[in-house]
Amino acid sequence: MIQSADATAVPAGGALAVDREQFSELVTQKLTSNSHIHVVNEELSAFPDGITVVATGPLTAPGLAQAIVDLNGEAGLSFFDAAAPILDANTINEDIVYKKSRYDRGEAAYLNCPMTKDEFLTFYQALVSAEVAEGHDFEKMTVFEGCMPIEVMAKRGIKTMLFGPLKPVGLEDPRTGKEPYAVVQLRQDNAAASLYNMVGFQTHLKWGEQKRVFRLIPGLENVQIVRYGVMHRNTFMKSPVVLEPTYASKRRPDLFFAGQMTGVEGYVESAASGLIAGTNAARMALGETPLIFPETTAMGSMAHYITHTSAHHFQPMNANFGIMPALTVKVRNKKERNQQLADRALKDLATFQAGMNRVEQV
């Protein structure tokens, strides 16, 4: 996954962003060209007999989704994954926006829309009073924090966005040498740089409202939205109740689950969960004991988190240092602390690899 991301990367400063179409095509090509993988394109509405890995994603078809519900005795949780609008680069006002990455890290890959305090307040009032799309009881949505709609964030407080996607720190306007009151960042969305994504602007606003409100942002007065922000209903299992740290089902040990449906969040995290589930499925086929990765490692901490956190408050989670066990000695400096956590993870992973039984090629 990371190799495919590197091969289809677009400029994003210190972050890794991809051309989504090229990335998807490359991953698909790698899977279909692998001689050890036989691809059959048809819908499955029941689990096969024997050792199986289910990695059907957060938009699993209804038939198989019902099979998962029947197996677990749980309807699972639901959340709404919000996508940000994508803009036509040719309609962005280059006289107002400026190119810069926060703190000048990496290349200047983001377009920045600066706001004065008055412009921010005008935008804020329009945003919190805008109409949201119909079809869901919006107030009762369980929203993954990492994909929170911008209008929901705004309603939490007038300054909330200033500490989130509109944070101006490290984004001085080169024309004034000063930080604007607020900044909206646009990230290149494709290799041709013809499209830009509004960073952190996932939204559930009606399409007409998106055009009206977002055109209040300086530099976007006449912008054309080529794909409006939308909300997607996704489902994931109550993994703390139904899964083992091996990614095996508690109710059917020869059935493994992997990917976002387990509550891990992100491409790399999903692939990592699949690596563990697939390895353990292979070990089971060889009559070997399933592996549980050390909790001090990134992969182990993800597996531990999704199977040990509170089921009542369970939400999808990215890999991060915060879900790893704390160091035995408290380190105040964040950079130094994270480095020590990383060093410990690599050391423990090496020890784990040296001690485990290898799955021999069949």
Say if residue 165 is in the same domain as residue 248: no
State whether 177 and 259 are in the same domain. Answer: no
Do 88 and 227 lie in a common domain?
A: yes
Domain encompassing residue 203: 83-233
Q: Averaged over 299-307, what is the pLDDT?
A: 95
Q: Is the pLDDT of residue 34 over 60?
A: yes
Q: What is the pLDDT of residues 260-292, one digit of tens each?
A: 999 898 889 999 999 999 999 999 999 999 999
Q: Which of 114, 83, 101, 102 is nearest to 220 (CA)?
A: 114
Render the burial of 111-128: b for 16+ CB within 10 Å, e for the rest: bbbbbeeebbeebbebbe
Domain identity same for 89 and 135: yes
User: What does the alpha-carbon distance between residue 137 and residue 338 come to, in Å, rounded to a whole number?
Assistant: 40
- Span of 151-155, 163-167, 224-228, 337-341 with lowest mean pLDDT: 224-228
pTM above threshold 0.85: no
Q: What is the CATH number of the domain that holds 340?
A: 3.50.50.60
Distance from C-alpha of 60 to C-alpha of 66, rounded to nearest angstrom: 9
Domain boundary among 189, 211, 233: 233
> How far apart (Å, rounded) are the C-alpha atoms in residues 200 and 166?
8
Among 41-45, 47-51, 262-266, top mean pLDDT goes to: 47-51
Dist. CA 127–CA 208, nearest whole Å: 12
Do 133 and 187 lie in a common domain?
yes
Return d(Cα 184, Cα 199) in angstroms, integer.
7
Residues 220 and 278 in one domain: no
Instruction: Give the chain's mean pLDDT.
Output: 89
Do 214 and 137 lie in a common domain?
Answer: yes
- Domain membership of residue 1 (yes or no) is no
Residues 197 and 335 reside in one and the same domain:
no
Q: Which of 201, 233, 265 is the last residue of a domain?
A: 233
Q: How far is CA 242 from the centre of its chain?
A: 23
Q: Which of 233, 257, 277 is the last residue of a domain?
A: 233
* CA dist., res. 180 & res. 113, Å (int): 9
Q: Into how many domains does the chain fold?
A: 2
CATH at 109:
2.40.30.260
Q: Which residue type sits at 246?
A: T
User: How distant is the alpha carbon of residue 142 from its chain centre?
Assistant: 16
Cα-flanking dihedrals φ and ψ of residue 177, to 5°?
75, 10
